[in-house]
Amino acid sequence: MVCCMCSRSVQILSRQLKVSQLRVFHIIAMDTVPPAASGVRSASSFLFDKAFVDGQWVGAKSGSVYQITNPSTGKVIGSVPDMNGDDTQQAIEKANLAFLKWRDTTAKERSLILRKWFDLTIQNKLELAKLLTAENGKPLKEAIGEIGYASGFIEWYAEEARRVYGDVIPSTAASKRMLVLKQPIGVAGMITPWNFPSAMITRKACAAIAAGCAVVLKPAEDTPFSALAMCQLAKEAGLPDGVLNVVTSSRDNAPAVGNLLCTSPVIKKISFTGSTVTGKILLQQSASTVKKVSLELGGNAPFIVFNSADIEAAVQGTMVSKFRCSGQTCVCANRILVQEGVYDQYVARLAEVMNQELKVGDGFDDSTTQGPLINSKAVDKVESIVEDAKRLGARLGCGGKRSDKGVNFFEPTLLSNVTLEMRCAQEEIFGPVAAVIKFKTEEEAVAIANSSSSGLAGYFYSQNLSQIWRVAEKLEVGLCGVNDGLISAIEAPFGGVKESGLGREGSKYGIDDYLEIKYVCLGGI
Ligand code: SIN
């Protein structure tokens, strides 16, 4: 079952087999997941080759599996069940049975389990991060940051579970009392993305679980292992069987799984993070059962640098906003708009800092800041966007081509003289390409920023207080960074306007999407 094994892999393997029969034991390239220090659970002991339904590790009814590869090396990490509609239907039924009990637990009981899950996640932070880097490719430091972010949502919702208050409404009739109850909505269906394989699981699932809902979740095809590792820790924390179910599927089966989640009358809520195209399809499918829907869809973030900006701060903000996860976040700066008075200074300094600070390579190499893109299709897209810009007259400041590090790598690229008809100014790039556009006036910048059908994040740099208020109010976005390029936070609401989505995640608002409001009128007093 095991091939290409080094002796280190054999040691890990024998240790993990002692731990549990359920651990993956046909890992083909264990060296893609480095071992832990002795005595600590290894990353490979969190690598499960089964889906998680009703508290059990299960295969697809068909027996089908598909392989997961490390996007950096192309090596196979392992395989997971390729589940279809039938498998998903079974998970939905189990979730519904679990929901009928879970909804009756007290907020404190739910809180304590979530808290324990948080503790376990923190204890195993490094090993979870290694697993994440192996399947997603992001640098290990970033992966550690993501596990911190992911566990933060577990902790947050452990706390929020106990803050779901109803209301007593002053009654207009002396004989009546008017009350508002908040109750869990039911079984929630979730579809999560590959760019944050852990954090997007906990941001959604823990809100639902805290509210008293059960969950059927389909993780991204490319990154199921982080989701499955989270299930193991939830189980260890005492989460009852069936409250959290993870159904894995390949790209071929994903539409059937998604369709069932959206059309099943048992599922009362859908939460999806991913592309706008897919979000629209899921929204249409959900209409058939009038489901509540949360969508975190694509962005096309404007990043505006005004003449009054602190240019050094703006460049540092660009670096963090643009190049986090190699440019593959929905909130990455996409259209960098720089006012003419500081344009040349900004472009020159950005080129300098990009050359100094960005290093492309494998995520397990300590010096790497830019890992691979998720797959070769992503590289093809980024390459064609850069070619289009060059053809239409953009100037190349650095990069501009595939990297020699491997098939999924693209060099961090700076394009200046970008104009609005270029694809890099129209589409979400989702790669390490900074496209810089010159503008003259505040009105022009705001008009360009708002010309997109997307409205997730927007950023601007200015030292002019009146301008700060004006622009913050005018930008058509759900998240606005003023003199800051990294604004996502557990405590803050995350979500977009326009075609970037519906609903908010995280923060005190995130749990509302999993609650129904019931008005109770008590008469005859
Ligand atoms: C995303 O890109 O979908 C999430 C990014 C974040 O939470 O900062």
pLDDT one-digit tens code per residue, 345-378: 999 999 999 999 999 999 999 999 999 999 999 9
Among 41-45, 62-66, 215-219, 378-382, which stretch is predicted with the lowest mean pLDDT? Answer: 41-45
At residue 15, the pLDDT reads 34
Q: How many residues does the chain have?
A: 525
Residues flanking ligand 1, CB < 6 Å: 193, 195-196, 273, 296, 329-331, 488, 494
Query: 135, 146, 221, 296: which is the annotated catalytic residue?
Result: 296
Shortest-distance Cα residue to atom 7 of ligand 1: 488
Handedness of CA 24, 27, 32, 35 (dihedral sign): positive
At residue 387, the pLDDT reads 98
pLDDT in tens, 439-473: 999 999 999 999 999 999 999 999 999 999 999 99
The pick from 331, 332, 490, 491 for probing ligand 1's pocket by mutation, whose C-beta has the most ligand atoms within 8 angstroms, reads 331
Closest CA to 257 of 466, 397, 96, 89: 89
pLDDT in tens, 400-436: 999 999 999 999 999 999 999 999 999 999 999 999 9
pLDDT at 496 over 90: yes
At residue 25, the pLDDT reads 28
What is the average pLDDT across 93-106? 98
Share of the chain above pLDDT 70, in %: 92
Tell me how far the alpha carbon of residue 269 lies from the centroid of ligand 1, in angstroms.
Answer: 21
Shortest-distance Cα residue to atom 3 of ligand 1: 330
At residue 11, the pLDDT reads 36
What is the average pLDDT across 170-194? 98
Tell me how far the alpha carbon of residue 196 lies from the centroid of ligand 1, in angstroms.
Answer: 7
Residue 44: pLDDT band with limits 50, 70, 90? confident
At residue 386, the pLDDT reads 98
Tell me how far the alpha carbon of residue 331 lies from the centroid of ligand 1, in angstroms.
Answer: 6
Tell me how far the alpha carbon of residue 358 lies from the centroid of ligand 1, in angstroms.
Answer: 21
CA 517 to chain CA mean position, Å = 28
At residue 1, the pLDDT reads 25
What is the average pLDDT across 182-207? 98
Q: How far apart are CA 246 and CA 88, in angstroms?
A: 9
Alpha carbon distance, N-terminus to C-terminus of the chain: 72
The pick from 136, 326, 477, 494 for probing ligand 1's pocket by mutation, whose C-beta has the most ligand atoms within 8 angstroms, reads 494
At residue 43, the pLDDT reads 80
Q: Is 387 a catalytic residue?
A: no
Query: 206, 231, 330, 424: which is the annotated catalytic residue?
Result: 330
Q: Which ligand 1 atom sits nearest the alpha carbon of residue 328? A: 2
| b (16+ CB within 10 A) / e for 74-95 | eebbbbbbbbbbebbbbbbbbb
pLDDT in tens, 117-170: 999 999 999 999 999 999 999 999 999 999 999 999 999 999 999 999 999 999
Closest CA to 244 of 253, 254, 233, 252: 233
Cα separations (Å) of 185 from 188, 208, 215, 291, 292? 8, 9, 11, 10, 9
pLDDT at 26 over 60: no
Tell me how far the alpha carbon of residue 273 lies from the centroid of ligand 1, in angstroms.
Answer: 9
Q: Is 473 a catalytic residue?
A: no
The pick from 272, 480, 488 for probing ligand 1's pocket by mutation, whose C-beta has the most ligand atoms within 8 angstroms, reads 488
At residue 350, the pLDDT reads 98
User: Rounded mean pLDDT of the chain?
Assistant: 93
Tell me how far the alpha carbon of residue 417 lies from the centroid of ligand 1, in angstroms.
Answer: 28
pLDDT at 28 over 90: no
- List of residues 6+ apart from 255 with CB closer than 8 A: none
